[in-house]
């Protein structure tokens, strides 16, 4: 769709054959001002405003239509002043305005009702945000790596730790325990420097606890210093 400004009160729009097919609209729609034609005219006015700064000052216009099966359709909109209207035309224009305002009001009320329904069914912010994990298992290839990790942690840190072994790999269970979440998070970050995160999902933790051999069942970090 291409729009062109002719003068202060005239705008011309060019619709290709393909565009007419996409809109599923024809010459008769514009002659009779069908609902499809009114929708296209609104799009034309919006585009004319955005691209050309055109703001209609009147409440209606003359529409000239030139149609060519090869080239498409040329629409020329010329604004009318109040002196150009008959009483019937004024009434028709007002009826169309009332129809548009009614549609806009219904659309707005529908959107508000939908928003209220979503608000009622929405979860609270606390429910929407995933809970921060408070336990995880880290894998270490060598005991010396695990001992080096234990050495860098504060001696008085109150995290809960257990040590397991499975398939020649050491698994350290690390839980928040009585520590603050900040201290627990720092401990987990330190663990990543010496080992790898095996998982924080309950099923992965249970798998190691059920399948692995218990090496140190409690306060593993303290006993590895």
Domain boundaries, the chain: 1-82, 135-223
Give the model confidence (pLDDT) of 101-130 as tens digits.
466 566 667 776 777 776 666 555 444 444
Contact 172, 220 (CB under 8 A): yes
**Beta pairing, strands 213-216 & 196-199:** unpaired
Q: Which CATH class is domain 135-223?
A: alpha beta
What is the mean pLDDT of the segment spanning 156-178?
Answer: 93
Task: Quote the pTM value.
Answer: 0.44
Q: How far is CA 146 from CA 138, 193, 194, 214, in A?
A: 10, 10, 7, 15
What is the mean pLDDT of the segment spanning 214-221?
Answer: 94
């Amino acid at each position: 769709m291409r729009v062109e400004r002719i003068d202060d009160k005239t705008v011309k729009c060019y619709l290709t054959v393909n565009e007419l097919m996409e809109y599923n609209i024809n010459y008769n729609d514009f002659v009779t001002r069908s609902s499809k034609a009114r929708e296209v005219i609104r799009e034309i006015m919006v585009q004319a405003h955005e691209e050309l700064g055109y703001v209609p000052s009147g409440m209606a216009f003359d529409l000239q239509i030139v149609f060519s099966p090869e080239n498409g359709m040329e629409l020329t909109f010329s604004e009318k002043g109040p002196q150009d209207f008959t009483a019937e035309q004024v009434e028709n224009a007002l009826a169309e305005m009332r129809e548009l305002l009614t549609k806009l009001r219904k659309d707005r009320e529908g959107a508000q009702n939908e928003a209220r329904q979503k608000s009622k069914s929405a979860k609270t912010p606390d429910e929407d945000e995933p809970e921060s994990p408070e336990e995880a298992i880290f894998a270490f290839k060598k005991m010396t790596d695990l001992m080096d990790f234990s050495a860098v942690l504060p001696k008085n840190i109150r995290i809960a730790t257990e040590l397991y072994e499975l398939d020649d790999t050491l698994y350290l269970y690390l839980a928040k325990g009585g520590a603050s979440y900040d201290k627990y998070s720092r401990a987990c970050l330190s663990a990543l420097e010496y080992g790898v995160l095996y998982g924080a999902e309950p099923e992965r933790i249970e798998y190691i606890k059920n399948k692995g051999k218990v090496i140190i069942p409690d306060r593993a970090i303290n006993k590895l210093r």
